[in-house]
């Protein structure tokens, strides 16, 4: 019998792999084939990770079509499995991964828009500091340099593409004319 930690590590690698890493004899026999049961876990894991990526990158899904997004997500999941248990933290490398897909090489705005969407997800997941009023600064001896803290959720993005315009256009359910929104025009975005 394997130590629990080794068994858990092997099972986790098997669930995330396309082919099982775990030997069939490591799995407890039951009514169903042990490898068939493992495939159920594999499918459920990939489905939930794909759904998590689709929830974080909804505009990217619309830009490339859902079928292509699912394919790209499947490849990303295979190459970059989660390293922590919080799904809200999964997907940080997805915009960078999109840049490596040959099919998208003529559409850099897709990866750039995904970068904006990830920044939005990070900002939404980051705790805010309590706001300070101007009155607090009036009643305090600030000295030469006041203690001003930016919100931890603040994200600054500079892009060569009109990513905010694309993102804003896709917030409505109507069809979007990509020719109008996919413009090589620098945009700077600050969000928190």
- How many structural domains is the chain composed of? 1
Cα–Cα distance for residue pair 49/60, rounded to 1 Å: 16
Residue 155: φ, ψ to 5° = -130, 135
Instruction: Please report whether residue 136 resides in a domain.
Output: no
Where does the pLDDT of residue 172 fall: very low under 50, low under 70, confident under 90, or very high at 90 and above? Answer: confident
Q: What is the predicted pLDDT for the residue at 66?
A: 97
Instruction: Please report whether residue 3 resides in a domain.
Output: no
Instruction: Please report whether residue 22 resides in a domain.
Output: no
Q: What is the predicted pLDDT for the residue at 7?
A: 74
Where does the pLDDT of residue 183 fall: very low under 50, low under 70, confident under 90, or very high at 90 and above? Answer: confident
pTM of the predicted structure, to 2 decimals: 0.83
Instruction: Please report whether residue 139 resides in a domain.
Output: no
Instruction: Please report whether residue 25 resides in a domain.
Output: no
Instruction: Please report whether residue 114 resides in a domain.
Output: yes
The model's pLDDT over 74-105, given as tens digits with 9 standing for 90+, comes to 999 999 999 888 888 999 999 999 999 999 99
The 3-class secondary structure across 96-116, one letter per residue, is HHHCCCHHHCCCHHHHHHHHH
Q: Which residue, chain included where needed, has tokens 């292509």?
A: 68
Domain extent for 176: 10-15+32-127+151-191
Instruction: Please report whether residue 158 resides in a domain.
Output: yes
> What is the DSSP code (8-state) at residue 27?
S
Q: How many CB atoms lie within 10 A of CB 110?
A: 27
Instruction: Please report whether residue 101 resides in a domain.
Output: yes
The model's pLDDT over 42-73, given as tens digits with 9 standing for 90+, comes to 899 999 999 999 999 999 999 999 999 999 99
> What is the DSSP code (8-state) at residue 136?
H
């Amino acid at each position: 019998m394997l130590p629990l930690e080794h068994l858990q590590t092997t099972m986790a690698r098997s669930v995330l792999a396309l082919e099982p890493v775990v030997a069939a004899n490591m799995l407890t026999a039951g009514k169903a084939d042990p490898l068939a049961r493992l495939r159920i876990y594999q499918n459920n894991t990939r489905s939930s990770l794909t759904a998590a990526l689709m929830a974080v990158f909804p505009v990217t899904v619309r830009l490339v079509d859902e079928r292509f997004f699912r394919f790209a997500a499947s490849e990303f999941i295979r190459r970059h499995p989660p390293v922590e248990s919080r799904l809200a933290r999964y997907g940080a490398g997805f915009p960078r991964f999109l840049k490596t897909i040959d099919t998208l090489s003529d559409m850099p705005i897709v990866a750039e828009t995904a970068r904006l969407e990830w920044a939005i997800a990070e900002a939404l997941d980051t705790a805010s500091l309590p706001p300070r009023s101007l009155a607090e600064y009036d009643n305090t001896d600030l000295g030469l340099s006041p203690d001003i803290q930016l919100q931890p959720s603040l994200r600054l993005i500079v892009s060569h593409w009109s990513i905010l315009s694309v993102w804003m256009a896709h917030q409505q359910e109507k069809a979007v004319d990509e020719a109008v929104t996919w413009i090589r025009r620098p945009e700077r975005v600050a969000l928190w």
